């Protein structure tokens, strides 16, 4: 006579009975999960039925199409076939709708949908819930308080601070260059922008470019960007428990620790400077406070200040956003000018007319460089430092062509694809600064390096100033030439990178 696995006569005491029950429960759970994923997939298929896309695998989605860091190039190909938007399946039951049409962008950026949690959550152990990841009233409160750190009264004296950091980098380049060996500039520019943001926003006194801790912080950031990016895309790295046990998970933890040690040191140092009465007096006399001092002295509506956790999150957010994006921007701009010597020379002549040989650049000079500003914008178009941003629809949306998406869908605004769209920018691959001449007309949402709407970049003005100072001073000192054997290959990461670095030949000008 057969005895059922759940028979009370076998269950008590029998290990094999317990195992059988456990396996049965496991199986039921697995079936339940599979049914849940299946139903979710069916819902997603229905939700995006008005948006055609290339065929995808039921488990791996479009993984095969996006191999070997060809993501940006692949989406450009899709955009030719599928106008305005196209679903991208990250896995069988995970998708985001890629959007690259200016009218679509306008609709999404005009709403107040939250950041896509399913994507941004993977960077939260690193940068925490600061301005970039926050949503709702807490975001609004932080944004309102931190906006004053970017008032022009505050930004004005930063020009000299940034110029000083740039000169340190250029001095180093003078020592390093020799006629035949090109220089990989991204690393150097990253150290310089880190130095600038630490001095400007965090009142850091010493030079981060000469400091070993800054180098390990920059390396940790590189690792964190690579690891988070691959986690967002991988079917097998979604679960926190499984990820924490994997080798990538361990590397991520170590890199987070390094990054946090850096930001903790900066906070600790500033707190101890503020113990000094004279420093405190200086702060009290200031009409407007620097970024970190705003955080340290802030009082919320309830009378309390920032909690240590919120403070750390904002410092981690600004330390990363405030240096890595501008490092990408400046490196790609210098490459674009190296590849287009005629525009490089026009910019140099403009800067020489304004500054002479003095190289002491001020806030007032920054508005007197129209041609260089056009070149910077054109480089930001071709190489947007933030290639895409994502939102999760909090209510259904209908686009101007009548197609719609329901609540809950993740929408990724592909800034890179928008900037390379031939419908928006004729001959999009041509570097043509005249696109940004004062009399040129563009769609309000055709150029979005700093995103748009209420969640646009809070550091936009700081970033534009830093890029102008860095480019102007570099052009006064060096002629830039590309390395024809290593043309940079744009690669999607959280911040745009080059797969093979950015190598330039630098020739010291007489
Ligand atoms: C060329 C340089 C920069 C570019 C291209 C850039 C681009 C962007 C973009 C596209 C966003 C929107 C992100 C999203 O929606 O997920 C953003 C947000 C943000 N950026 Fe920048 N950024 C740059 C420089 C900076 C700098 C220098 C700082 C700080 C000093 C900064 C701080 C932030 C912060 C805190 C946010 C979140 C704002 C919010 O949601 O309220 N960025 N940036």
Q: Does residue 9 lie within any of the structural domains?
A: no
CATH of the domain at 385: 1.10.630.10
Instruction: Quote the ligand 1 centre to 457 CA distance (angstroms).
Output: 4
First to last CA, the chain: 100
Most confidently predicted of 174-183, 236-245, 319-328: 319-328
| pTM (two decimals) | 0.93
State the burial class of residue 413 (Cβ atoms within 10 Å of its Cβ: 0-12, 13-18, 19+).
buried
Confidence of residue 300 (pLDDT cuts 50, 70, 90): low
Query: Which residues form the domain of 369?
Result: 48-508
Ligand 1: does its nearest atom lie under 6 Å from the Cβ of 392? no
Domain count, the chain: 1
In angstroms, rounded to a whole number, what is the distance separating the alpha carbons of residues 146 and 131?
9
For residue 2, is it within any domain?
no
Q: Is residue 171 part of a domain?
A: yes
Query: Any idea which residue has 């060996």 for tokens?
Result: 181
| Binding site, annotated residues | 457
Stretch 159-180: mean pLDDT: 92
pLDDT band at 10 (very low <50, low <70, confident <90, very high): low
CA of 133 to the centre of ligand 1 (A): 11
pLDDT tens-place string over residues 409-455 = 999 999 999 999 999 999 999 999 999 999 999 999 999 999 999 99
pLDDT at 179: 67
| CB of residue 458 inside a 6 A radius of ligand 1 | yes
Is the minimum distance from the CB of 318 to ligand 1 under 6 angstroms? yes
Q: Say yes or no to pLDDT of 89 above 50.
A: yes
Residue 5 pLDDT class (50, 70, 90 cuts): very low
Q: How much is the pLDDT for 274? A: 83
Is 449 domain-assigned? yes
Q: At what angle do helices 308-339 and 212-233 cross, to 10 degrees?
A: 90
Per-residue pLDDT reduced to its tens digit, 27-78:
999 999 899 999 999 999 999 999 999 999 998 999 888 877 889 999 999 9
Domain assignment present for 176: yes
CA 419, CA 304: separation in Å to the nearest integer?
44
In a domain, 69, yes or no: yes
- 60 compared with 205, residue with greater pLDDT: 60
**Ligand 1 closest atom vs CA 467:** 1
Residue 27 placed within a domain: no
Best residue among 204, 457, 467 to mutate for probing ligand 1's pocket (most ligand atoms within 8 Å of CB) is 457
Task: Taking residues 80-84, report their average pLDDT.
Answer: 97
pLDDT for 93 beyond 70: yes
As annotated, the binding site for heme includes 457
pLDDT single digits (tens) 492-507: 989 999 999 999 999 9
Tell me the mean pLDDT in the region 20-33: 92
Q: Is residue 20 part of a domain?
A: no
Q: What percent of the chain has pLDDT over 90?
A: 78
Q: Alpha-carbon distance 105 to 451, whole Å? A: 9
Q: What is the mean pLDDT of residues 221-234?
A: 92
């Amino acid at each position: 006579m057969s005895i059922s696995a759940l028979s009370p006569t076998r269950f008590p005491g029998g290990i094999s009975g317990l195992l059988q029950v456990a396996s049965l429960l496991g199986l039921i759970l697995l079936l339940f999960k599979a049914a849940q994923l299946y139903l979710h997939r069916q819902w997603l298929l229905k939700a995006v039925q008005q948006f055609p896309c290339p065929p995808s695998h039921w488990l791996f989605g479009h993984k095969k199409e996006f191999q070997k860091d060809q993501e940006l190039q692949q989406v450009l190909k899709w955009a030719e076939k599928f106008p305005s938007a196209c679903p991208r399946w990250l896995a069988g039951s995970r998708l985001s709708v890629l959007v690259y049409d200016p009218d679509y962008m306008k609709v999404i950026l005009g709403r107040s949908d939250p950041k896509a949690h399913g994507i941004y959550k993977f960077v939260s152990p690193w940068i925490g819930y600061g301005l970039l990841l926050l949503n709702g009233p807490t975001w609004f409160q932080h944004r309102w308080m931190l906006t004053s750190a970017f008032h022009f009264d505050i930004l004005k004296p930063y020009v000299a601070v940034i110029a000083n950091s740039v000169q340190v980098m250029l001095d180093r380049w003078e020592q390093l260059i020799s006629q035949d060996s090109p220089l990989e500039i991204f690393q150097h520019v990253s150290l310089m922008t880190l130095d600038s943001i630490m001095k400007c926003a965090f009142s850091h006194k010493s030079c981060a470019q000469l400091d070993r801790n800054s180098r390990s912080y920059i390396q940790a950031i590189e690792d964190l960007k690579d690891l988070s990016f691959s986690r967002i895309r991988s079917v097998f790295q979604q679960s926190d428990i499984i990820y924490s046990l994997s080798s990538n998970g361990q590397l991520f933890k170590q890199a987070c620790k390094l990054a946090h040690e850096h930001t903790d040191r900066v906070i600790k140092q500033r707190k101890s400077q503020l113990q000094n009465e004279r420093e405190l007096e200086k702060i009290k006399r200031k009409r407007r406070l620097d970024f970190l001092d705003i955080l340290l002295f802030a009082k919320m509506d309830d009378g309390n200040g920032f909690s240590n956790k919120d403070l750390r999150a904002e410092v981690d957010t600004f330390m990363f956003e405030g240096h890595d994006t501008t490092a990408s921007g400046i490196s790609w701009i210098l490459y674009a000018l190296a590849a287009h010597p005629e525009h490089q020379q026009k910019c140099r002549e403009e800067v020489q007319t304004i500054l002479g040989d003095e190289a002491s650049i001020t806030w007032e000079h920054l508005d007197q460089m129209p041609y260089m500003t056009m070149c910077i914008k054109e480089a930001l178009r071709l190489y947007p430092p933030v290639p895409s941003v994502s939102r999760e629809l909090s209510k259904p949306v209908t686009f101007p062509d009548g197609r719609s998406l329901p609540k809950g869908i993740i929408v990724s605004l592909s800034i890179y694809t928008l900037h390379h769209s031939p419908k928006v920018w004729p001959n999009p691959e041509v570097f043509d600064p005249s696109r940004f001449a004062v009399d040129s007309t563009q769609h309000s949402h055709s150029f979005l390096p700093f995103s748009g709407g209420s969640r646009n970049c809070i550091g936009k003005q700081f970033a534009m100033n830093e890029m102008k100072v860095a480019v102007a001073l570099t052009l006064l000192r060096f002629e830039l030439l590309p390395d024809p054997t290593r043309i940079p290959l744009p690669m999607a990461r959280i911040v745009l990178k080059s797969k093979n670095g950015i190598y330039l030949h630098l020739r010291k000008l007489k």
